[in-house]
Amino acid sequence: MRITIFGTGYVGLVTGTCLAEVGNHVVCVDVDADKVACLQEGKVPFFEPGLEALILRNVAEGRLRFTTSAAEGVEHGHFQFIAVGTPSAADGAADLRHVLAVAESIAEHMEQAKVVVNKSTVPVGTADRVRERISDVLERRGADVEFDVVSNPEFLKEGGAVDDFMKPDRVIVGTGCRESAEKLRQLYAPFNRNHDRLIVMDVRSAELTKYAANAMLATKISFMNELANIADRVDADIERVRIGIGADPRIGYDFIYPGAGYGGSCFPKDVKALVRTAQDVDYMAQLLQAVEDVNERQQRYLYSCIQAHFGAGLAGLTFALWGLAFKPNTEDMREAPSRRLIESLWVAGASVRAFDPKAAGEARRIYGERSDLVVCAKPELALRGADALIIITEWNVFRSPDFQSMRTLLKQPVIFDGRNLYEPRAVAALGFTYYSVGRPRRARAES
Residues with a catalytic annotation lie at 266
Q: What are all long-range contacts of 137-142, with beta carbons under 8 Å and residues at least 24 apart?
A: 137/104, 137/107, 137/108, 138/107, 138/110, 141/107, 141/108
The H or E element containing residue 291 is helix 286-298
Quote the CA–CA distance of 125 and 72 in Å, as a whole number.
Answer: 28
Burial readout 373-393 (b: 16 or more C-beta within 10 A, e: otherwise): bbbbeebbebbbebbbbbbbb
Phi and psi, residue 181, nearest 5°: -60, -40
DSSP of 294-359, one letter per residue? HHHHHTTHHHHHHHHHH-S--TT-EEEEE--SSSTT----TT-HHHHHHHHHHHTT-EEEEE-TTT
User: Residue 78 gets which letter from DSSP?
Assistant: S
